[in-house]
Structure 1
């Protein structure tokens, strides 16, 4: 029995030291797909900002922002793409970003954003994938930080051509949630 407990402890220790970032429940569950595969569903700015703060030890200066401030932050073109889907947003500072946008989607609108993006890419109205990093019900505006430090995923509505990319089918045919090892 003693050897069994030592073996279980050793395996647990090795699993905890695997070098993979541990960021709560925001990794895709094996065999799951769609937004639900992106982990715990966060539905409020308080939930998102608390999670980002706990994950980064930063983001303690959260400032809720208006739609006008979102338009100024994103610029008019990007604002027109994202605004119909955003319920609320705030900013905080997470190095190297003086302003990191924290976005909560309107109920049911994260799938609608995927549909919008897939249609836009197919029709040639959009030429690239969104630059945000997505979780279940929310996103952060700095995709690279979201992928590398928070374990979130990009939404791609074109073929994924990155070797060893970790993909999860999105809610919409033709789109995929993607991450990869940047190191």
Structure 2
């Protein structure tokens, strides 16, 4: 009698244990489904957030960040600011003298001046040895882009064969290209290909042109 009772108690305990185990597993499965896969949570937390759209993507005509005149560095709002920067960088550029259109034509010659003058907003001269009369030129940003387009078209038409010999910055230029390139870190504008392997090149605002800085030798 006692043996039969013990056997029944053991069976009952086994059934209760099975129910408890089954219930616990079901709860764990249900909790996993609510939380989602652990790997997905880790991936989402570690991933870079998607960039927000600013609505400006189409304003740069296909140029990525780091291209065009904006990639050339600091810009200046006046000739005084530009001249002060050149003086700080070179220790030269003494006796800055404002100049007008006639001075520019005289400086460049009438044939070459026609390709520069329409786009120049302001210019002055100063002395940086060995240049007794170095030109400092300011463009409005849109005018410098137009200058690139105009020069490229003149080359395509055969009216110009060479690239500009000025050195360009962000909205300005130095008329002595080597001085601007070597001493000031400015860039040449190349719309016709130039075979210099170690040049630092930045795509210009006009397709087919580029800004380039050559190594000082």
TM norm structure 1: 0.81
Q: Number of residue pairs matched?
A: 154
- Distance in 2, matches of 1:36 and 1:106, equals 12
**Per-residue displacement from partner, 1:70-113 (whole Å, max 9, x unpaired)?**
11111101111100000110000001100000000134100000
2:153 is the alignment partner of 1:137:
no
Look up the match of 1:150: 184
Structure exhibiting the larger radius of gyration computed from Cα positions: 2
5+ residue gaps, structure 2: 1-64
2:133 is the alignment partner of 1:93:
no
**Per-residue displacement from partner, 1:103-126 (whole Å, max 9, x unpaired)?**
001341000000001111122221
8 Å contact from structure 1 (residues 43, 137) kept in 2: no
- Distance in 1, matches of 2:201 and 2:193, equals 11
**Per-residue displacement from partner, 1:40-86 (whole Å, max 9, x unpaired)?**
11231111100100000111210001111111111101111100000
TM norm structure 2: 0.69
2:196 is the alignment partner of 1:162:
yes
- Distance in 1, matches of 2:91 and 2:147, equals 30
Look up the match of 1:32: 66
Of 113, 120, 126 in structure 2, the residue corresponding to residue 79 of structure 1 is 113
Task: Extract structure 1 runs of 4+ deviating beyond 4 A.
Answer: none
3-state SS of 1:108 partner: helix
8 Å contact from structure 1 (residues 43, 138) kept in 2: no
Of 61, 69, 76 in structure 2, the residue corresponding to residue 42 of structure 1 is 76
Identify the structure with the greater helix proportion.
2
- Distance in 2, matches of 1:98 and 1:148, equals 17
**Per-residue displacement from partner, 1:117-159 (whole Å, max 9, x unpaired)?**
1111122221000010000010010001000000000000022
Root-mean-square deviation (CA, aligned residues, Å) is 1.4
Structure with higher RCO (Cα < 8 A, 6+ apart)? 1
8 Å contact from structure 1 (residues 153, 179) kept in 2: yes
2:146 is the alignment partner of 1:115:
no
